[in-house]
Amino acid sequence: MYESFYNLTSKPFGLNPDPKFYYGSKEHSRVLAYLRYGINQGEGFIVVSGDVGAGKTILIGALLQELSKDKDIVAAQLVTTQLEPDDLLRMVSGAFGLSYKGMNKSELLNGIESFLRKQDEAGKRVLLVVDEAQNLQHHSLEELRMLSNFQSGSHSLLQSFLLGQAEFRDTLRSPDLEQFRQRIIASYHLGPMGRSETKGYIEHRMKVAGWKSDPHFSNDSFGVIYDYTEGMPRRINTLCDRVLLYAFTEESHDITVDILNAVIEELDGEIHFNRDEIVETAETNTGAALNISLSGTAPQPVELTGDVAQQLAQLNARVQHLEFVLSKARELLTAILIKN
């Protein structure tokens, strides 16, 4: 698609977190410092919270990539949903490559403890990274705390990093999680990037993707991007990916404020919904019916003149545009249903 048009080696603003695109902003670098501190401590829980799209997952991916070079650390990552405690233990077992099918809770715990002790005897430390921790029930969090009780002498056999959305901090304030809170040795809330860092973030990702100043971003375009995205990495990725796609269909090698405003208008016009109306409808109608409307300007037809291959690529871009709209609509509907 637009990658070849701009001679890029990869897509610079994909939504899937890729550690190679990690950008060490002030906020992200500080979180990494907390996590490295936790690794040096070798015990307890480190909690990192942040709003949706703040860059928690790519940050932890960068850390795990860094840790993969340390043969003395055995690290595993799991992404949680709303799990019962026994299911969480099965996921932990599976993350470390242990057997779990058909096993009861005591068997799961014995298997995990045996694994932890073997790693300790081999001089290795074990780290568990739990992403989307806001989905964990209180009982499941207590299971994680119980796992931290496995010790050899004075040191713990398992250390855990918990990453969750902002509401996870509220969960941890619950009175029945007092013992869990006492095991937290450090916590940090990951905020958005500043205006100058937003520019640095965009240029960094473009350079990783092989950017050689084509397309050219006007100086005032970065301010528009920051104002619209408020410095949130995932929002920046969504906007910039669409901007590059739009510029490609226009055969433009300059990212201007006009192009940005056109894309922002498209994004704002694609999906409209009133969350309160959706929740009310879901609560009062059988089957949780959702009232959501999709609107926006249909892509303009492409006139097939000039190079046929180029025109076909532009048509493909229009199709990709529509597929993107539909996929985001599905994601929003699913998220709303799950949350409510």
Domain 26-190 CATH class label: alpha beta
CA dist 201 → 52, 76, 192 (Å) = 17, 28, 12
User: What's the mean pLDDT when you consider all of the chain?
Assistant: 83
| Contact (CB, 8 A) for 141 and 178 | no
* pTM score of the predicted model: 0.73
Evaluate whether 15 touches 118 at the Cβ level (below 8 Å). Answer: no
Instruction: Record the tokens describing residue 330, joined without a space.
Output: 């599905």
Q: Is 240 helix (H, G, I), strand (E, B) or coil?
A: helix
Q: Where along the chain do its domains lie?
A: 2-13+195-339, 26-190
Kindly state the average pLDDT of the residues 155-169. Answer: 92
pLDDT tens for 57-95 read 899 889 989 888 888 999 999 887 777 778 889 999 999
